[in-house]
């Protein structure tokens, strides 16, 4: 008796489902995407995200920034791996384009089948080599303020510090590296504050520079007219 009740319930469910489908009418046909149109839609969506272009100039920092930004745009637009190379090469200009025209001939197979991992490898060998990283590390270790303002020096110090992660990971060494590059007068005034960390040191250095400039102006004021002795 329980089996008969179960069959009756199933039959009632099927009748209800068919009636609902009939009330909704025939299902709308799935739109067919023309060949190439799917990629075109993907391309339009990607370009609307304003991805940066790359002309091969600017050295390691610009190449690094471009690759980071392109990866972020791929993630944002949900770009499949199979389409990443086709989209990335649309952003190459000037020497960047010339580089790609030469290097793609090294891949054995159709250009549209080039995997993104291979593109990243070739790009890294050309623009993001260890030699380039070491050159930037050397720039960081030898950075000096000289004619720069403290603000300019701070910005440059931060930009280059990522190429010396071992220095940045050691707070004492990191602060010492910063002080060594500062104008000696500024460094002498703030060297006791190393325990506060780099952000605090940088802020104190900027304030000290302002104070020193103001003090120098008061000691040697400009536009002071010389006094003449009017003798008859």
What is the overall mean pLDDT for the chain?
85
Instruction: Categorize the per-residue pLDDT at 34 as very low, low, confident or very high, splitting at 50, 70 and 90.
Output: low
The ranges assigned to domains in the chain are 39-128, 145-219
Asked whether the beta carbons of 114 and 107 are under 8 A apart, the reply is yes
Helix axes 171-181, 150-161, angle to 10 degrees: 140
pLDDT higher than 60, residue 230: no
Q: Is the pLDDT of residue 19 over 70?
A: no
Note the pLDDT tens digit of each residue in 125-137. Answer: 999 999 999 999 9
Greater model confidence, 89 or 213: 89
Write the Ramachandran bin of 36: left for phi over 0, alpha for psi from -120 to 50, otherwise beta: left
Residue 179 has a pLDDT of: 95
End-to-end CA distance of the chain: 139
Query: Distances in Å between the alpha carbon of 82 and those of 113, 141, 199?
Result: 7, 41, 43
**pLDDT number for residue 7:** 59
Report the share of the chain in percent with pLDDT over 90. 67
pLDDT digit string (tens) for 83-118? 999 999 999 999 999 999 999 999 988 888 999 999
The whole-model pTM stands at 0.65
Q: Which two tokens stand for residue 163?
A: 């190429």
Residue 14 burial class via C-beta count within 10 angstroms: exposed 0-12, middle 13-18, buried 19 and up: exposed
Confidence class of residue 197 from pLDDT cuts 50, 70 and 90? confident
């Amino acid at each position: 008796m329980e089996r008969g009740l179960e069959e009756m319930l199933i039959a009632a469910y099927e009748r209800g489902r068919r009636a609902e489908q009939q009330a909704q009418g025939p299902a709308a046909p799935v739109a067919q995407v023309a060949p190439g149109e799917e990629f075109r839609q993907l391309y339009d969506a990607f370009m609307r995200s304003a991805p940066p272009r790359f002309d091969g100039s600017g050295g390691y920092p610009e190449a690094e920034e471009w690759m980071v930004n392109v990866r972020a745009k791929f993630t944002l637009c949900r770009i499949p791996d199979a389409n990443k190379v086709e989209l990335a090469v649309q952003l190459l200009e000037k020497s960047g384009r010339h580089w790609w025209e030469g290097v793609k001939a090294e891949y054995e197979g159709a250009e549209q089948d080039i995997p993104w991992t291979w593109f990243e490898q070739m790009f890294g060998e050309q623009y993001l080599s260890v030699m380039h990283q070491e050159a930037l590390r050397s720039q960081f270790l030898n950075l000096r303020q000289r004619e720069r303002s403290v603000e300019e020096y701070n910005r440059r110090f931060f930009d280059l510090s990522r190429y010396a992660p071992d220095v940045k990971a050691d707070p004492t060494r990191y602060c010492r590296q910063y002080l060594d590059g500062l104008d000696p007068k500024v460094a002498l005034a703030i060297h006791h504050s190393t325990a506060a960390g780099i952000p605090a040191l940088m802020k104190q250095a900027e304030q000290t520079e302002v104070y020193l400039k103001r003090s120098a102006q008061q000691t040697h004021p400009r536009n002071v007219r010389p006094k003449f002795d009017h003798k008859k």
